[in-house]
Amino acid sequence: MVTPPPDRNDCEPHHAFDAIRKTDRPSTTAKHTVREAIGSHLASRSGGGVTREVAYLFPGQGSQFTGMGKDLYDIYPVARRIFDQAARLVDFDIRSVCFEGPPAKLTQTRFSQPAIFVVSIAALEVLKSHSKSKILIPKFAAGLSLGEATALCAAGAISFEDGVRFVLSRGRFMDEAATECPGLMAAVLGADLPVVEEACRITGAEVGNLNAPGQIIISGKKKNVELAIEKLRGMGASKVIPLDVSGGFHSSCMDSACRRIEQALKEVLIQQPKIPVVSNLTADVEESSEKIKQNLVWQMNHRTLWEDSMRYIIGKGIKTFIEFSPGKVLKGLLRKIDPTIETISLSALEDFHAID
C-alpha cells in the first residue's frame, strides 16, 4: 500500500511544458549560444587540463518532439546502440515513434516516457564518448519528474535495462490512471504559492509542480482544475494556461498508478548512486535504495520541487548545468531561478558538433 509522506496536504502535484515554452523566451542580452558555452568549457580548456564541476539535468514529459534523437542515431554509433538496445526491451517501435511520430502517438504518456528516457541517455552517451568531456566533473544529477529516473540511470543507480522497463511501466500505468480519473493541468504564472494553494483548497485542485519563481503547475480532476483556473484568474494571476496533457499528473489522479509502480519497483535493483541525485520530492540527495524507490513512487502523485532542487545544487557551488536532449525547457526554468547560472543544452546535432 502506498503511504503518503507526512507533509502531504490537499494541494499536490506536475509537468508538460509545450504551452509554457512561449513564455520562456530568453531576452537578447541573456542569450548565450551553445557553441560559445561548449567551445569555451570543452574545446579551449581541455588542452590545459582545466576541469569544471557541473550538474546533469534530464527533462520530463512535455519535452518530446517528432524527430528527436534521429540526428544522434544517424551520426553516432554509441547513440545507435542505445536505441537498438531499447528497441529490444519495449513493446513498440521506439525508433519509429521518436523519429517519425506521429505527434499524436508520441505525446501519449505510454510512448513519450520511454522515448524521452532513451533519447536523454543516448545524448549522455554521445557526450561521454568525446575525449574533451573528461574535463566535466558531474557532481550532481537531477531530472524533472520522469527525468529523475533518467538521472538515476546516469548516476549508475539503475541499469539501462531496468530503467527502460521502469519508465515503460510508469508511462503505461499513468496512462491508464488518466483514463480512470480524467484530469487536467494548468500553468499558473504571476501568482504566489499561498494564493495558488488557497485556490486549490477552495476548488479541490492540487499543486503539481513548483518549477520556477512565478511559475506553478496545478493538477487534478478536470472539473476541479477548471474551477481553479477561473478562481486564479479572479485572484490576480497574470496568466493561467491549460496544458495539452493526457491527465492530472502529480495529483491524486495518479494514486492507482502509484500502487502499481510500487509493486513493479520491487523487481528493480537500485544501488547507491555514483553521482548524488537530487530528488524532486524532497529537493535533497537520497542514497538508500528504499528511500529512492519510495520517492519515485510518491513523486507521481505529489508536487515536485524543481525550483528548490535547483537551488540546492546551486547552493553547493555548482555554476554550470548541462541539460540533455530532448528540448531546452530546463534551461528556461533555470534562467528564471538564477540568471547567473550557465546552462549548456545538448539537444540539436549542432550542439554536439560544437564539442568537436
Cα–Cα distance measured from residue 134 to residue 116, given in angstroms and rounded to the nearest whole number: 25
Annotation says 250 is catalytic: yes
Q: Which of 219, 250, 252, 347 is catalytic?
A: 250
Cα–Cα distance measured from residue 275 to residue 277, given in angstroms and rounded to the nearest whole number: 6
Annotation says 131 is catalytic: no
Cα–Cα distance measured from residue 5 to residue 151, given in angstroms and rounded to the nearest whole number: 22
Nearest alpha-carbon partner for 34 in 317, 311, 321, 313: 321
Cα–Cα distance measured from residue 172 to residue 114, given in angstroms and rounded to the nearest whole number: 10
Yes or no: say if 330 and 212 are a contact pair by the CB < 8 Å rule.
no
Nearest alpha-carbon partner for 59 in 330, 332, 301: 330
Q: Which of 46, 145, 325, 347 is catalytic?
A: 145
| Beta-sheet strands, E only, within the chain | 52-58, 136-143, 183-189, 206-212, 215-221, 239-242, 320-324, 342-346
| Catalytic residue list | 145, 250
